[in-house]
Amino acid sequence: MATKFDAIMARRGEIMRKALGMDYSEFELSPIAFDYERMMTSGGYSLDEIVAIQGRAGVGSTPLLELRNITDLVRSVSEPGKGARIFVKDEAANLAGAFKDRRASVSIHVAKEKGYEGVIAATSGNYGAAVASQAARNGLKCIIVQETYDSRKVGQPEIVEKGRICESYGAEVLQLTVGPELFFHMVELLDVTGYFAASLYSSFGVSGIETLGLEIAREMEALTGAPPTHVICTHAGGGNTTGTARGLERAGATETQIISASVDLSGLHMASDDDFNRKSFTTGHTGFGVPFATWPDRADVPRNAARPLRYIDRYLTVTQGEVFYITEAMAKLEGLERGPAGNTAMTAAVSLARDLPRDATVVVQETEYTGAGKHHWSQLNFAKEMGVGVCSGDPKNNVPGKVIVIPERVEQIRAKDFDVARMRKSYIRNALKNAPEGYAPTSDDIEFLAADTKSDPETVQATLTELAEA
């Protein structure tokens, strides 16, 4: 298995070149740097063309809703003059119920246009449903590869539910036990079938999310007369943050602060058989958010289009119990019963808005559908079955994998700032680690690293010097 794994992954660039119809080597500038913007536009589609593609696919133009009752709740526990207005982009209105329909719609359009017979995607959840849905609309075959079970063949209810939905759209679903094989099996299947790689991390998929940022900027202009002051994105692999931020920039909303939010699952290892079923969130958590931000090119494609450190201004973390509380509040105060993972950013927004002036505007840029295994009650019941305690109280006492503490009052919800400067340093360290031994970064490399970490050449150089002396 190890030999086969190494052999397939060593050919990853060649296989993905055939499976995407693009040669990543064209963008390489050095062992560290590559032409990111050229890669992002290499597909040849303008943003207006992507809007049109999604319109034909039944994707996008989702409602932007002001959450007046949630805002009133926040203001009831805020200091005088504080309590920003909170809005949400209801992406559950897309065909397969999540913002990932946007990235799937572009990838499937490309596959159809290039004449591929079918598509393959590796995903634990919403993206698989989106790919399967769009493949069905376009008459393409579809294979979804899921990491579903622990070694006892116990599957998380959310992932099992998503597998069922993918099958309902006509997709073939390959379900795996937890481990490092997810991307390997996807690449192997691409090699065998000749299908298109509907990768989460291709430029096609990430550019499809840019319409979300575009719509938010334009709709907030119409509603309030200005772009939002803050946009909060649930953060996992980084495509959500990257695409939304790029769309906001392209709409001229350059002053909008980009905030990523994840559930804090520190202490749990995502590839651990024991830890796998002791978490209630399969995405939108630090187990993906931190590793993918600090080294994006761990993905199935040679160069990941999702590069969140280029855009993040702040990174907030919340607890599982806090998200479950806000999931209930959304349903009971706003009539929006939505999936817990999509409410991660909403939970961070409730905390953030307390400290902002009343004339600030916070947009939570997505929701996701819920039901069956995705419902928060199902998740909590599963947690209990896995030996995780569930209680009400102070969320400060939450311990990932051991106890989920659901707040008793909204004022107990307090998002924590994750150290973005530390993440930037980790990214630079990883860039050096993955370069040839003894390679000395050039001035062009330093410029690239500054752009890729939303910093400046002086900061990068200081970090390089610090790492060299360590």
- pLDDT tens for 330-354 read 999 999 999 988 899 999 999 999 9
Q: How far is Cα 398 from Cα 266, in angstroms, rounded to an integer?
A: 11
Res 198: pLDDT: 96
Q: Are 412 and 426 in contact (CB under 8 A)?
A: no
Q: Is pLDDT of 283 > 90?
A: no
Percent of the chain, pLDDT > 90? Answer: 84
Q: Tell me the pLDDT band of 126, cut-offs 50, 70 and 90.
A: confident
Which of 3-17, 53-67, 402-416 comes out lowest in average pLDDT?
3-17
Q: Tell me the pLDDT band of 182, cut-offs 50, 70 and 90.
A: confident
Mean predicted confidence (pLDDT) in 26-44: 96
DSSP 285: B
Residue that has been written with the tokens 């106890």 in this structure = 403
AA letter at 11: R
Q: Tell me the pLDDT band of 180, cut-offs 50, 70 and 90.
A: confident
Fold that domain 2-27+98-203 belongs to in CATH: Rossmann fold (3.40.50)
Q: Tell me the pLDDT band of 216, cut-offs 50, 70 and 90.
A: very high
Q: Is pLDDT of 241 > 60?
A: yes
For the CA atoms of the chain, what is the radius of gyration? Answer: 21
Q: How far is Cα 97 from Cα 466, in angstroms, rounded to an integer?
A: 46
Q: Is pLDDT of 324 > 90?
A: yes
Which of 134-138, 358-362, 466-470 comes out lowest in average pLDDT?
466-470
Q: Is pLDDT of 3 > 80?
A: no
Q: How far apart are the first and last CA of the chain?
A: 37
Mean predicted confidence (pLDDT) in 288-299: 94
Q: How far is Cα 159 from Cα 123, in angstroms, rounded to an integer?
A: 9
The CATH number of 59-96+206-417 is which of 3.40.50.1100, 3.30.1490.20, 3.20.20.105, 3.40.640.10? 3.40.50.1100
Q: Are 291 and 298 in contact (CB under 8 A)?
A: yes
Mean predicted confidence (pLDDT) in 310-314: 98
Res 26: pLDDT: 94
- pTM of the full predicted structure? 0.95
Res 281: pLDDT: 87
Q: Is pLDDT of 311 > 90?
A: yes
Res 374: pLDDT: 87
Which of 174-178, 245-249, 267-271 comes out lowest in average pLDDT?
267-271
Task: Identify the helix (H) or strand (E) that includes residue 31.
Answer: none
Average pLDDT of the chain to the nearest whole number? 95
Q: Tell me the pLDDT band of 179, cut-offs 50, 70 and 90.
A: confident
Mean predicted confidence (pLDDT) in 136-165: 93
Res 432: pLDDT: 96
Percent of the chain, pLDDT > 70? Answer: 100
Q: How far is Cα 231 from Cα 380, in angstroms, rounded to an integer?
A: 29
Q: Tell me the pLDDT band of 2, cut-offs 50, 70 and 90.
A: low
DSSP 372: G
Q: Are 304 and 248 in contact (CB under 8 A)?
A: no
